[in-house]
A and B are shown apart, each in its own frame.
Chain A
Amino acid sequence: AQTVTQSQPEMSVQEAETVTLSCTYDTSENNYYLFWYKQPPSRQMILVIRQEAYKQQNATENRFSVNFQKAAKSFSLKISDSQLGDTAMYFCAFMKPQGGSEKLVFGKGTKLTVNP
């Protein structure tokens, strides 16, 4: 079974600075997807970024980028120019394609606080 580990329960960063959230996973699969979801205090789960394992290029979405190291099974999220609105729980998630029966396997989350 796949597992996802987020080793940083809490982190904080000053506004406008850069922060990196760590995620490692365990799988014997070669083809899979990785995601970062953000959950602000409003509780809504918001997709931040996704990465396909067969793509070597790291995904980027505006201020959010990932460092995907397939051999090391590492998938960290870098947030540049942090904003107060980035304060949230961040969840790393793994998915194995299964032809319609996919499920997300989540890590335990990292609580990020952006300080003014």
Chain B
Amino acid sequence: DTAVSQTPKYLVTQMGNDKSIKCEQNLGHDTMYWYKQDSKKFLKIMFSYNNKELIINETVPNRFSPKSPDKAHLNLHINSLELGDSAVYFCASSVGETQYFGPGTRLLVL
């Protein structure tokens, strides 16, 4: 009965690699988001999609590419990973103004 799920929960990888994080929601929401939480716990929006259409792109490097195959899924692909990409990435979905978050994916780039 998980509402917003993310895989994997942990991801350890080397600099320069390409990796993906998957997100799925079973709430029937139209809008999904990616947020980044840095090492100081600061949370910031990266992207939002509404019905598979990109709505928000918050000056994120183009190494980050979201993809929404359908409105229940929003995946995040990261190319050429850098040390500074180490963070926790949260997926969220919303109906109206309330956003519901996934459990987060902790990415560590070595």
Q: Which residues of A contact B (CB under 8 A)?
A: 33, 35, 37, 39, 42-47, 50, 89, 91, 95, 97, 100-106, 108-109
Question: In the bound complex, how far is the Cα of B44 from the Cα of A97, in angstroms?
Answer: 17
Question: In the bound complex, how far is the Cα of B97 from the Cα of A6, in angstroms?
Answer: 22
Given contacts A91-B43, A108-B42, A109-B41, contact A102 B94 (CB under 8 A): yes
CB-defined contacts of A97 to chain B, threshold 8 Å: 97
Question: In the bound complex, how far is the Cα of B50 from the Cα of A100, in angstroms?
Answer: 7
Distance in angstroms from B47 CB to nearest chain A CB is 10
Question: In the bound complex, how far is the Cα of B42 from the Cα of A105, in angstroms?
Answer: 10
CB-defined contacts of A44 to chain B, threshold 8 Å: 101, 103-104
- Interface band, chain B: 20 to 34
CB-defined contacts of B44 to chain A, threshold 8 Å: 106
Given contacts A43-B88, A106-B44, contact A100 B55 (CB under 8 A): yes
Given contacts A100-B31, A104-B45, contact A47 B56 (CB under 8 A): no
Task: Answer yes or no: B75 CB below 8 A from chain A CBs.
Answer: no
Given contacts A43-B88, A50-B97, contact A108 B104 (CB under 8 A): no
Closest to A109 in B: B41
Which of A43, A101, A108 is B56 in contact with, Cβ under 8 Å? A101
A101 contacts B48, C-beta separation under 8 Å: yes
B42 contacts A106, C-beta separation under 8 Å: yes
